Structure 1
Amino acid sequence: MRKFLIRVATLAAAATALAPVAPTTAAAAQHLAFRPLSYNINGYNWGGYAATGSGFTSVSATWTEVRATCNSTNDLYAPWVGIDGYGSSSVEQTGVATDCSSGSPVDQAWYEMYPANPVYLSTSSYPVSAGDVINASVTYVGSNKYNLKLTDSSRGWTYSTSKTLSAQRASAEVIIESPTGAYPNFGTLKFSSATVNGKSLGSSNPVAMDPSNGSYEARTSALGSSGTSFSETYLQE
């Protein structure tokens, strides 16, 4: 069985406030966590880039929500940014999930301090849909406290929260993930303005990942010349 590919990223040009409410999607109701990097004999559930080492204090990125097409009701994925998760047992993260459990794609903002369950934001107070420009950031502010911030500049809302967790801060990520191992067809999603510790993502010499579930589900491009942008292209469920 072909193993999932992990490759080292370079700076080469791309070759290719209202409180959250109880979960309203099936994904949230089932507590499907966007969890630390995991794998089985077929491959990994993450795509994107992870900087590794120690002392990570911030990560941020911007993307435009794409219009996904559901292949099945099992499809679920999210772009997100976070600290930890690559080689550790916690993740401090925020992003937007696309859930196909209803038969149609539903976009919903969320954050998570894994191993706690994800918290999904109210779709009426914090709506997200295809075409919206999203910026996400996670910042460590000391004393085991993290600020998580999500902004939908297309709709003019920002959600931020501060949470406490004792974690290693041994990695920082800009990622797409499918907890179910099944991606909807999201076409191509482009991350931009990706930074780690206030510098370009590429300056941290991050590890690149392509999600695989027996065969590759998406492809991660090389980083752009600035080291702050890359794309994820859907291949198959």
Structure 2
Amino acid sequence: MNIYIFEIIGTAMLILIGNGIVANLVLKGTKGGDSGWVGISLAWGIAVFIGVFISADISGAHLNPAVSIGLATAGKFSWNLVPGYIVAQIIGAMIGNLLVWLTYKKQYEATEDENAILATFSTAPAIRSPFWNLVTEIIGAFALVFGVFYIAGGSVGDNAVSLGSLDALPVALLVMGIGFGLGGPTGYAINPARDLGPRLMHALLPIKHKGKSDWGYAWVPVVGPIFGGVLAALLYMLIETI
């Protein structure tokens, strides 16, 4: 049970810090309105560092269904644990964004821009084109999961591999690099739980002026990262067998 609890805690911290910077940037009446994309990318890297460091030694700090599924595809993680990890990650993401909402409660009340409010919960494309948005998410998640394989170490056929606390920094730098290099087109969800859990909270919370939760786009940041994670696992296995 501890593994699931720490997966929840790690993911909650990830979203609290990551979407916290977005709220600080886009909501009305904050002191962080000039942080820009650099601030967002840096904050998400720090958020990953915190989430991984807290949960790594207990749950392995996947914090992302694409990572769990990618590791399981490569035989590095038990498929029996995958459903529980995904549920824990989504719950953690929901809790994290609940805390963001509570932190910025007065700023949410002062903000009338529906898109700005939604941005503090879930991702949205800069140019809406579902196929190319999907491609972007696949590539971003591929880069993440492929990097995680080599950061975590081990080879195909070993027992379950997980991120240790010392891996928190390189994973954080990897996510930061993805943000700077690949994040512009879609806001780089690269994590189904990171988008789905907060989007559910957006739909559930009594937020004034919140508008719709854009469920028509919601499948892209879920399907894309999973597909990218599986592709990363397949390439990793191919390389390791050469």
TM-score, normalised by the number of residues in structure 1: 0.27
TM-score, normalised by the number of residues in structure 2: 0.26
If each structure's helix is expressed as a fraction of its own residues, which one has the higher value?
2
If each structure's strand is expressed as a fraction of its own residues, which one has the higher value?
1
